[in-house]
Amino acid sequence: MTRPAPSRRDEMLREMGIGPRWQLRGAAAVTGAEAPVTSAPAAGVPLPRPAAVPGPGWEELKARVASCTACGLHAKRNRTVFGVGDEQADWLFIGEGPGAEEDAQGEPFVGQAGKLLDNMLASINLGRGSKVYIANIVKCRPPGNRNPEAEEAQACSSHLQRQIELIRPRLIVALGKVAAVNLLGRDASIAALRGQVHEHRGIPLIVTYHPAYLLRTLNDKAKAWQDLCFAVDTMRGLQSAARTSAD
Ligand code: URA
């Protein structure tokens, strides 16, 4: 066994909790994808965004969510968990629903899974405050951390849809099966859905594993890294297409 000299890619993988990689002499690297370098548009000039859709603005939407009683989840919540991040983000990461810590703090992905998500974002030069918005399929905690029921996701979907309309992200990343199935409107495994660019209401969408699953299934972190690299490549293509159409 030899240990390759640490590269920028290794550092990012370590940040995500994957590395350091050990490689058999002469064997190919196990993680597969090449490291993304940046997600920023090259020119530094704002790229054109899709047209705004009329409807409630951020403040009204936040008030609606805070007082929502559209499904049974409202009865046991401490806080609604609206979402967090750049309201004009190119990237929208969507999880499942708040857990206990999110319910206590009113912010998505602040527990253990959130720490991993932050590392995943950092590994591709993103952070929750910059170019990224993070939301969930449901805004109230499902008791006992169970998956949201279909009716609960449905009751919450108008809130999420309005968030998507307001953000107008270039790319959605669905974190885990609950997000993927609800956003794509069809049942399939993450294994079957990853590695392709899907669409949610005309917005490109990529599927990867939920960070909480990755905390339990360390072997799949390498696949999540490949998904992130794929997402970065896809974003580059989308930004480049937007740049070309602006010329
Ligand atoms: N898991 C999710 O899907 N969302 C959160 O906000 C926290 C954990």
Q: Map out the domains of the chain with their CATH numbers.
A: 56-246 (3.40.470.10)
Residue 48: the pLDDT is 83
Residue nearest to atom 7 of ligand 1 (CA): 109
Tokens linked to 89: 């983000």
Centroid of ligand 1 to alpha carbon of 9 (angstroms): 27
3 pLDDT band (50/70/90 cuts)? low
Centroid of ligand 1 to alpha carbon of 94 (angstroms): 9
Give the residue ranges of DSSP H helices in 72-184: 100-105, 112-123, 150-167, 177-184
Residue 242: the pLDDT is 93
55-65: pLDDT as tens digits? 999 999 999 99
pLDDT at 28 over 60: no
141 half-sphere exposure, CB direction, 13 A CA radius: 19
180-237: pLDDT as tens digits? 999 999 999 999 999 999 999 999 999 999 999 999 999 999 999 999 999 999 999 9
Ligand 1 is surrounded, with C-beta below 6 A, by 95-99, 102, 108-109, 113, 136, 212
Residue 51: the pLDDT is 85
Residue 155: the pLDDT is 98
Q: Can you tell me which atom of ligand 1 is nearest the CA of 211?
A: 1
Instruction: Work out the number of other CB atoms within 10 angstroms of the CB of residue 81.
Output: 28
Q: N- to C-terminal Cα distance for the chain?
A: 51
Adjacent-strand bridge partners of 220:
none
Lowest mean pLDDT among 36-45, 129-138, 158-167, 215-224: 36-45
Residue 12: the pLDDT is 56
